Amino acid sequence: MIMKRTIVVFILVLLSSNSFGRDSNPLCWKTYGVFHTDSGDGHMSKFEGARFRISKSPEKLPKENRVFSENKAYAFVAITKKARPYNAEVLIFTEKEYTVKLGLIKLQSATPKWINEKTLLIRIWWGRAMGEDMFFDVEEEKIIARQGFRDTGSATSDSERYCSMEQWKEKEVCNPKCSTID
């Protein structure tokens, strides 16, 4: 019972603060999606270097599922291991004698795509509600930017669930004054 009460109080504190990174209560949000956070906010720091590795591999890029850059100079193949915890590799051909291997450990999913001729955006879901956009320069073979994000769907569904409880229905936090664009 104490644990349940603690969770309810925690959710209500989150509802009443701006800890979601947006300027409103989740009950005001019209759509689900993600919101980006400052990568320096601490929530990504526990993953720093521990869940991804960049290395050089002598293996050739598999012919299947190659995705070429716009100028056709580079290509990648994304491979997800099916065993839990999920691990993924992004193998990148960069016109060199080796393949760049970006290894990602303990994740839900990773989806790379080209955003220009030499930069990959890899959207990584580390869990059900938290992820990271990683920008990788294939010529420099390094991560050039990281941007953490959180899922608004879990915050909104938790808010709706707790605010539907009889003891919370009349609380101010469960009856927000929502601003609209119109």
pLDDT digits (tens, 9 = 90+) for 50-96: 577 899 999 899 999 999 999 999 999 998 877 666 688 899 999 99
Task: List residues bridging with 142 in a β-sheet.
Answer: 137
Q: How close are the terminal C-alpha atoms of the chain, in Å?
A: 43
pLDDT grade, residue 130 (50/70/90)?
Answer: confident
**Model confidence, pTM:** 0.68
Cα distances from 53 to residues 47, 80, 93, 121, 142, in angstroms, run 11, 15, 16, 16, 10
| Structure-model confidence comparison of residues 30 and 102, the more confident one | 102
Q: Write out pLDDT tens, residues 132-160.
A: 899 999 999 999 998 888 777 766 677 77
Contacts of residue 129, Cβ cutoff 8 Å, sequence gap at least 6: 150, 151, 153, 154, 155
